[in-house]
Amino acid sequence: MKKGRKLVGEVVKFYKIKDEIRILGIDDSPFNFHKDKRVMLIGTIFRGGSWLDGILKSEIKVDGTDATEKIIEMIRKTKHKDLRVIMLDGLTFGGFNLVDIEEIFKKTKLPVIVIIRQMPDFERIITVLKEINKNKEDYEFRLKCIKKAGKPKKVETKKGKFIYIQYIGIKFEDAKEIVKLSSTRSLIPEPIRVAHLIASGIVLGESRGGA
């Protein structure tokens, strides 16, 4: 644990959140359900909502269960040892490759904040999960990931405009502060906006989404 924060029970306590807090933001690339077996994960390392310090890349299986371990590996391998918080663009990557955010927090000691632009229909997701999961173990893993992430909470990032977040290893007030301070350019934090631009641009030839 570095200066300015402390692991208290199951929450990292931030004594002071700096404007340039180092954030890793992760998004996946677009893919073709019928053709692609793998999809890219792009990580952006940001100083708060301002400067991009580095780019990480990994790959996961479409509809696999390896997103959690690949994200933990990304964090362990990077030379950027000053990361303070992880942000994810939603809880699912590469189709139904769900992320176990509790596991990421346990293994890396870094809080995780899931950024949700539009509230997902969890009942619908659980129904689809039942349909697509041939084996019971995968279904239960995915269901557990959703339950562990908790109920999404509203954060106002611009006046009168809201997004939702799920989080672990951090108090809601601290998570909210980090999300707000890093949403400098749009309604969502820069690490997520830029990860999305890069992941879509690399695969499609031009980035999409104003985000």
Interaction pattern, residues 165-204, with a copy of itself; x per rule: CB under 8 A: --------------------x--------x--xx-xxx-x
Euclidean distance between the first and the last CA atom of the chain, given in angstroms as a whole number: 33
Q: Please pick, from the candidates 21, 22, 58, 93, the single residue that binds a copy of itself as defined by CB under 8 A.
A: 58
The tokens for 23 are 């954030």
From 6-14, 47-55, 87-95, 97-105, give the range in contact with a copy of itself by CB under 8 A: 47-55
* Residues 40 and 29 sit within 8 Å (Cβ to Cβ): yes
150-156, long-range: CB within 8 Å, 24+ apart, which pairs? 152/114, 152/116, 152/119, 155/179, 155/180, 156/180
Q: Which of residues 111-140 bind a copy of itself (CB under 8 A)?
A: none
For the purposes of burial, counting CB atoms within 10 Å of the CB of 50, is it exposed (0-12), middle (13-18) or buried (19 or more)? middle
Judged by beta carbon, residue 39 or residue 129, the one nearer a copy of itself is 39
For residues 67 to 106, the per-residue mask of contacts with a copy of itself, x marking binding by CB under 8 A and - elsewhere, is: ----------xxx---------------------------
Give CA–CA dist 153/151, Å, rounded.
Answer: 6
* Span from 19-27, 53-61, 125-133, 135-143 in contact with a copy of itself (CB under 8 A): 53-61
Nearer to a copy of itself, 166 or 183 (CB): 183
The Cα–Cα gap between 36 and 29 comes to 11
In whole angstroms, what is the distance from residue 151 CA to residue 11 CA?
17
Would you say 38 or 185 has its CB closer to a copy of itself?
Answer: 185
Residues contributing to the site for a copy of itself (CB under 8 A) = 40, 42, 51-52, 54-58, 77-79, 185, 194, 197-198, 200-202, 204-207
